[in-house]
Structure 1
Amino acid sequence: MAAQVVAASGTAAAAAARPLGGGSGADGLRPSPRLQLGACASRERWSGGAVAARGRRESQVVSVISRAPRTEPEVLPVSPDDDAAVKEEANFQHLKAIQQLATAANGVWSKPNVRRKTKIVCTIGPSTNTREMIWKLAETGMNVARLNMSHGDHASHQKVIDLVKEYNASHTDNVIAIMLDTKGPEVRSGDLPQPIFLESGQEFTFTIKRGVGTDTCVSVNYDDFVNDVEVGDMLLVDGGMMSFLVKSKTEDSVKCEVFDGGELKSRRHLNVRGKSATLPSITDKDWDDIKFGVDNQVDYYAVSFVKDAQVVHELKDYLRSRNADIHVTVKIESADSIPNLHSIISASDGAMVARGDLGAELPIEEVPLLQEEIIRMCRSMGKAVIVATNMLESMIVHPTPTRAEVSDIAIAVREGADAVMLSGETAHGKFPLKAVKVMHTVALRTEATIPGGETPADLGQVFKNHMSEMFAYHATMMSNTLRTSIVVFTRTGFMAILLSHYRPSGTIFAFTDQ
């Protein structure tokens, strides 16, 4: 019996669908070899979801039934070549599908026809701190403007905040959030008259004396530096761009041998592999920057080098005392934070996988595994998670990314990251707009391949105890199962935000009278 169907919107579909499912009884027709279903459309017109190959029905169908002469089924001989032919045909279709990606409507450089879910965080710096560039970044795909408080002063950051707020006032349908990223307890080298080139095997000294900067010695801004390092430690510059092996130390100096040479510049970031500096997570400078953020009503804080949950509680207590509605995002970038990962994320509003310093303090092969684990943990708790550092590093100087960088973005999206971040690419890179465009198109294309219909993450036992969480959880289940969007009416926006924590596959449309 040959059976072909076509999608339709008529009410006769229910009756027509029962014979296809093999129903019996008074309310159905039993299939017969003497019935033949007439062809009404080709397979290409099944995009509306008429009937899947295995009999699954996704929309209504109409069948045309006509009698056909009785024919005996043809018996074909079975041979070992049959299985090989089937596999060969399957491989051919797979390769054909890959070849057609170049001309697909949602190809890499085509205009997207859906809204991207993965957000893009752009660091604003000398390359992008003008009105024109901020407007263009927002139009290209930027969702969050990041202010790196390790560089610049309050006056320069105030200018950026004012420009972003000016854009938001005139583009209410595409509001850009503002993230203030604290400097944290960074250990940095001092100033040098000019960059110096060091070769492997040379001797070099770091001292806690201020104002030292020669070809053989440079000062460090951390008074306990000598106490924190031990003979045999590996000292990394800028996350491993250069490395020094600690050979000996005195009361105020650490003598090293250059292990991996390179060019040493002023104010370089220093790490000791496997160790964290014994500094408070929030320094006096950070508190000044946090107060600056409260005064300017920023949306997010990214807190650097968080080691335990107490730091998060301390900051949130301060924000409550100032009546400031600012989300706290913890940056996971130190070895000390890993044992306390669960409590840190639980206390915060979200986390950032800061892979640069994380890869400097831990073995680099652990970073991809930690990234996946942090994303999984954040999703299970309903927390936002950002993947950062070296996403498109080559585009600081080159107009196109490496293929590995493109794969890095795609992997982060597929693992479930809520946002991906650009640092030097947009802060001081030569091609900031192209970098955002690449990140936008790669994320959008990857999202189109992620299957929907999965069960939403079980956010612990919370939804069992609160009615609103229960509604959000089951609404997400229905949306994923039916592959539909969710419409929510809200006064405060709480329910829309709660729904987003469960990450439904469909779009959330929030309506409010406020």
Structure 2
Amino acid sequence: MQSNTDVSTDATSQAVDATPRRKTKIVCTIGPSTNTREMIWKLAETGMNVARMNMSHGDHQSHQKVIDLVKEYNAQNTDGNTVAIMLDTKGPEVRSGDLPEPIMLAEGQEFNFTIKRGVSTEDTVSVNYDDFISDVEAGDILLVDGGMMSLAVKSKTADTVKCVVVDGGELKSRRHLNVRGKSATLPSITEKDWEDIKFGVENGVDFYAVSFVKDAKVIHELKAYLKSANADIHVIPKIESADSIPNLQSIIAASDGAMVARGDLGAELPIEEVPLLQEEIIRTCRSMQKPVIVATNMLESMIDHPTPTRAEVSDIAIAVREAADAIMLSGETAHGKYPLKAVKVMHTVALRTESSLYDPTKAPSLVARPKALLNDDFCKSQLSKMFGSHATMMANTLRTPIIVFTRVGSMAVLLSHYRPSSTIYAFTNEVRVKQRLALYQGVVPILMEFSDDAEETFSRAITSLLDAKYMNEGDYVTLVQSGSQSIWREESTHHIQVRKVQC
């Protein structure tokens, strides 16, 4: 490691950032409330880092419009506020059939589900899944709409499941059905999903969020397809199936991150398990240095109301304190009445929570301690981890932001894993790397061509940060460089400098 000798003691007096930045990223689902150019621009300016397209709704034409608008925003925006694109597959959903009008279900009432198509009577409705009969047993609890209503299975025939209503309510058309503690035997990637995945390849999206992943096999299958299509798209499994929990380690190991999809997870498993599973999934992703998104119901009340409940505010703060990379809005921004206010609430709550976690005057609880390399052969990956840990501690001690130059993104990802107190400004000359880094906690990705002259590259990076008012002249920065294609040397190198910002 190298360090610049012009570091002076007044470096520790500067603020962590010229302007504090939110480190936890925000994923916004785009829908009828937000699918215009004006709204996408406003969402990005308010705090959106990832635009999510839910393929359960809309068609390719409407999603194409959103993709084009996000790409237009990224092309025109030069201040480092990159918006990544996530395509969320519909997955193997079991739904009730169409109804001419809603049916009121009362506690104790007998009600049936049949695999016969087109049935809609006051006590029987169709389901869209032929194996529903074989998946359900007497004594099972059916949850409708994620638990808004529940029915106990009493018996079944060759084509009908007979139930009694436990918790009643208004049954509408095409409601989602879960069996508590069980997952449907449908494939994780359906024929519709494959068409949507191909659509994503054609449009160069950045992430796939894959619904109802049960094991690592489906991840390997999708990655093999992407490799054959020469598509550089990362795969984020949605952990929402009861069957996925025993396979959690292997699923995340095969993937590029994970999403805690709490809606269906809480329907298939007892709801009291969800907070513990959320913590476990976040911890597992962090141990593998992969991004994790916490999703579902974070500001559900803001679909219809301009202010959140206090419990929702606490929910956001807990996800931030548990060190999630990103938190997600679904119906709040897709079809809610107050999409911009919802993003603003998420932004301000995350920022305020982070201010209590990343106080550089205290020992940051989220910064991993360097580990002794005992009983292991010394290797490049271990050197990179040690280097990332020391770079983080140096930046925290001197209270400086970090600048990293990266061609593939690995050092920026590693630094994000160590959760430095200040912002990581990741300069890259690859558009795909810039887009992908938009999901990682604390990283501001900036696209810039690298010069053959390392000092010129550094000077241009500093100028861009000054122009964007991300820092001020006279501040200090921790400059991190690592990898086989370093801008500073031809050969592989690990390199730290602390420099004073000068025009």
Q: TM-score range by the shorter chain?
A: 0.7 to 0.9
Whether the 8 Å contact between 1:462 and 1:469 is mirrored in structure 2 is: no
> Which secondary structure does the structure 1 equivalent of 2:217 belong to?
helix
Residue in structure 2 matching 1:151, options 23, 33, 57: 57
How far, CA to CA, are the matches of 2:55 and 2:46 in structure 1?
Answer: 24
User: Of 332, 348, 368, which residue of structure 2 is paired with 1:456?
Assistant: 368
- What is the SS of the residue equivalent to 1:448? helix
Q: Check 1:437–1:157 CA distance in 2 against 1; reply closer, same or farther (3 A cut).
A: same
Of 303, 306, 310, the match for 1:399: 306
Matched, 1:495 2:411: yes
In the alignment, is residue 504 of structure 1 matched against residue 420 of structure 2?
Answer: yes
Aligned to 1:170: 76
Aligned residue in 2 for 1:40 = none
Alignment counterpart, residue 111 of structure 2, candidates 204, 207, 212: 204
1:29 alignment partner in structure 2: none
CA distance in 2, matches of 1:207, 1:136: 46
Asked whether the equivalents of residues 197 and 261 of structure 1 are also in contact (C-alpha less than 8 Å), the reply is yes
Counterpart selection for 1:356 from 263, 273, 276 = 263
The Cα shift of 1:327 comes to 1.0
1:429 is the counterpart of 2:320: no
Q: How far off its partner does 1:422 sit?
A: 0.5
Matched-pair contact (CA < 8 Å) for 1:382–1:502? no
Which residue is equivalent to 1:279? 186
Tell me the distance in 1 between the aligned counterparts of 2:84 and 2:67: 10
Gaps spanning 5+ residues in structure 2: where?
Answer: 1-7, 429-448, 451-503
- The CA deviation at 1:433 is 0.8
Q: 1:456 touches 1:502 (CA, 8 Å); kept in 2?
A: yes
The separation in 2 between residues aligned to 1:254 and 1:142, in whole angstroms, is 44
Alignment partner of 1:245: what SS? Answer: strand
Pairing partner for 2:199 from 257, 273, 292? 292
- The correspondence for 1:120, drawn from 10, 26, 30, is 26
- Find the aligned partners of 2:188 and 2:151 in 1 and give their Cα distance: 25
Residues 474 and 462 of structure 1, relative CA distance in 2, 3 Å threshold: farther
Taking a change above 3 Å as real, the CA distance of residues 342 and 491 of structure 1, as seen in their structure-2 partners, is closer
> What SS does the aligned partner of 1:223 have?
coil
Alpha-carbon distance between aligned partners in 1 of 2:378 and 2:230, rounded to the nearest angstrom: 28
Query: Match of 2:277, as an amino acid?
Result: L
What residue ranges of structure 1 are gaps of 5+ in the alignment? 1-10, 14-47, 50-57, 61-111
Paired residue type of 1:389 = T
Q: Which residue of 2 aligns with 1:140?
A: 46
2:35 to 129, 144, 149: 129
Aligned-partner residue type, residue 489 of structure 1: F
Aligned residue number for residue 170 of structure 2: 263
Work out the CA distance in 2 between the residues paired with 1:398 and 1:462: 57
For residues 43-74 of structure 1, give each alpha carbon's deviation from its aligned partner in whole angstroms, at most 9, with x where no partner exists. xxxxx99xxxxxxxx769xxxxxxxxxxxxxx
C-alpha change, 1:463 and 1:472, in structure 2 (3 Å) is: farther
Letter paired with 2:416? S
Structure 1 residues 285 and 208 mapped into 2: Cα distance closer, same or farther (>3 Å)?
same
Tell me if the contact between 2:294 and 2:324 (Cα under 8 Å) persists in the aligned partners. Answer: yes
**Structure 2 CA distance, aligned partners of 1:296 and 1:462?**
43
Q: Distance in 1 between matches of 2:328 and 2:340?
A: 14
Residue 321 of structure 1 deviates from its aligned partner by 1.1
Distance 1:462 1:302 in 2: 36
The 8 Å contact of residues 380 and 458 in structure 1, kept in 2 or not, is answered as no
Aligned counterpart, 1:471: 387
Change (3 A) 1:458 1:314: farther
Cα RMSD over matched residues?
2.3
* Aligned with residue 228 of structure 1, among 135, 142, 150: 135
What is the distance in 1 between the residues matched to 2:389 and 2:75?
34
Contact 1:178 1:300 in 2 (8 A): yes
- Secondary structure at the aligned position of 1:353 is classed as strand
Q: Which runs of 4+ in 1 moved over 4 A?
A: 457-465
SS at match of 1:298: coil
Does the CA-based 8 Å contact 1:456-1:476 persist in structure 2? Answer: no
Residue matched to 1:486: 402
Distance 1:458 1:372, change over 3 A: farther
State the Cα deviation string for residues 269-299 of structure 1 (Å, max 9, x = none). 1000000011111111111110110001001
Q: Deviations over 1:277-325 (max 9, x none)?
A: 1111111111111011000100110011111111111111111111111
**What letter matches 1:488 in structure 2?**
V
Output one character per residue of 1:225-273: Cα deviation in whole Å (capped at 9) or x when no partner.
0000101110001110011111111001101111111111111110000
- Asked whether the equivalents of residues 426 and 435 of structure 1 are also in contact (C-alpha less than 8 Å), the reply is yes
d(CA) in 1 for partners of 2:133 and 2:413?
47
Contact 1:149 1:183 in 2 (8 A): yes
Report the 3-state secondary structure (helix = DSSP H, G, I; strand = E; otherwise coil) of the residue aligned with 2:104: strand
1-side partners of 2:174 and 2:236: how far apart?
26
Say if 1:187 and 1:271, in contact at 8 Å, map to a contact too.
yes
Shift in Å at residue 170 of structure 1? 1.1
* Cα separation, 1, equivalents of 2:328 and 2:246: 25
> Alpha-carbon deviations, 1:431-451, whole Å to 9, x = none?
111111100110011110104
Q: Secondary structure at the match of 1:268?
A: coil
Alpha-carbon offset, residue 503 of structure 1: 2.6
Distance 1:190 1:462, change over 3 A: farther
Alpha-carbon separation, structure 1, partners of 2:294 and 2:270? 18
TM-score normalised over the length of structure 1:
0.76
Letter in 2 for 1:456: A
d(CA) in 2 for partners of 1:210, 1:196: 18
What displacement does 1:199 show?
1.0
Tell me the SS of whatever aligns to 1:449: helix
Identify the residue that residue 222 of structure 2 maps to in structure 1: 315
Structure 2 residue corresponding to 1:334, chosen from 241, 249, 253? 241
Partner of 2:99: 192
**Could you report, residue by residue, the CA deviation over 1:166-208 in whole angstroms, capped at 9, with x for unpaired residues?**
1111113322111000011111111111112111111111011
Distance in 2 between the 1:210 and 1:374 partners? 39
Deviation at 1:417, TM superposition (A): 0.8
Q: Do residues 447 (structure 1) and 354 (structure 2) align?
A: yes
How many aligned residue pairs are there?
Answer: 410
Report the residue type matching 1:151 in the other structure. H
TM score, norm. by length of structure 2: 0.78
Instruction: Give the Cα–Cα distance (whole angstroms) in 1 for the partners of residues 204 and 176 of structure 2.
Output: 30
1:289 & 1:333 partners in 2: Cα distance?
20
Given that residues 289 and 413 in structure 2 are in contact (C-alpha distance below 8 angstroms), is that contact kept between their aligned partners in structure 1?
no
User: What secondary structure sits across from 2:246 in the alignment?
Assistant: coil
CA distance in 1, matches of 2:211, 2:399: 39
* Structure 2 contact 370–390 (Cα < 8 Å) conserved: no
- Equivalents in 1 of 2:110, 2:217: separation in Å? 41
